[in-house]
Amino acid sequence: MSKRIIALALAAALTLSSAAALSACKKDDETPSDITEATAAENLQTEAPAPAGVTDPLTGLTGYDEKYVGQKLVAVVVENSPSARPQWGMSTPDILMEYEVEGGISRMLWLYSNIDKLPDTIGPVRSARHDIVELALGLDALFVHCGGSTFAYDKIKSYSGTLSEVDGMQSQSFFVRDRSRNTASEHRLTLKSGGLRDWISSSGINMTVNEAYKKPFSFASSAVTPSGGDCLSAQISYSPSYNYEFKYDSAAAKYNCFINGSERKDDAGIQCAYTNVVVLYTDMAAMGTSSGHQDLKLENGGTGFFASNGKYEEIKWTKGGDRDMLKLTKADGSELSLSPGNSYIGFVRSTRSSSTVIG
């Protein structure tokens, strides 16, 4: 099948940082916990059937338990360096967001529509960047991380009392370093969801979502067929070292994920696959720090593409201010509805849009 290369117009050329350390291992990631080992079996998640009629806010699937309606979703910062792979629980998020940070590496924000959806073990949990804080603010989520850049902490501080936050630097016992892996300690920090749930119950933290954020994304009632043409494969690139391909599996109606030519799997060996693949081209600029921190110009919005059901189409997106929600629209500006199911949302540097290949 012939391949199409999506080349979208860019708002401005960006200055790239020429010297950025590949390692994101810093003191801001350290926690005093170093307790037990995690097992792959802990990540296997079972869900009891729920009454039909209520729709999950992050998947659009019916049968969502009414007791979770009006609760905050949970957003966890997870590492994506080679030393962190395979991640604990990688296949479990309702929505996985990813974007480039310093040194050409990427970082992820895993989203779950309620606290009981989290698998037993998640990780490696890592430090926040200010852009990730902005994404969490735009969802009114419970934001879980361990440490952060100076810019991230400045952002968190400026929304004290507004952002519900859990920081592993505060020595919570439910952040545990797994000893089963022979890698640096910063690549072994896991979140134990049972401990997090207990802490939420005892801490009195507000888990009621602001009314304006109850429906962060629009979902159709059945599978969507995008209007732009066939998409049996979609290749995107965050940097020379972070290249992805999403291959459509018609039997499962999902896109299997590959990174640098290898299957993307979690620690239990489960292939990561998504009903919806959303790629958003994003203006970025170096922040002038010695570490090479980057700034996603989320306030600028931009273009991108949406793939589902073996098809794709070009789309637009906006974010606006820190607390504004991410909005996805069709090219004509009408609301974009996703297919019911899980989703991958990648924020790709605009200057790498020409590396996208759809075929």
Is the omega angle on the peptide bond into residue 124 within 30 degrees of 0, that is, cis? yes
Asked whether residue 324 carries a pLDDT value surpassing 50, the answer given is yes
pLDDT tens digits for range 275-289: 999 999 999 999 999
Number of other CB atoms surrounding residue 3 within 10 Å? 9
Distances in whole angstroms, Cα of residue 60 to Cα of each of 23, 74, 227, 303: 37, 16, 20, 23
What are 190's strand-pairing partners? Answer: 176
**What band does 111 get if pLDDT is binned at 50, 70 and 90?**
very high
pLDDT tens digits for range 176-231: 999 999 999 999 999 999 999 999 999 889 899 999 999 999 999 999 999 999 99
Check: CB of residue 228 under 8 Å from CB of residue 311. Answer: yes
Element holding 131 (H helix, E strand): helix 130-137
Considering the chain, what is the average pLDDT of its residues? Answer: 88
Given CA atoms 165, 169, 175, 177 in this order, what sign does their dihedral have?
positive
From the centroid of its chain, how far is CA 258? Answer: 16
User: What pLDDT was estimated at residue 52?
Assistant: 56
CA distance 98 to 106: 7
How is 1-50 classified by DSSP, letter by letter?
---EE-----SS--PPPS---S----GGG--S-------GGGG-------
Report the SS3 class of residue 158: helix
Given CA atoms 38, 39, 43, 45 in this order, what sign does their dihedral have?
negative
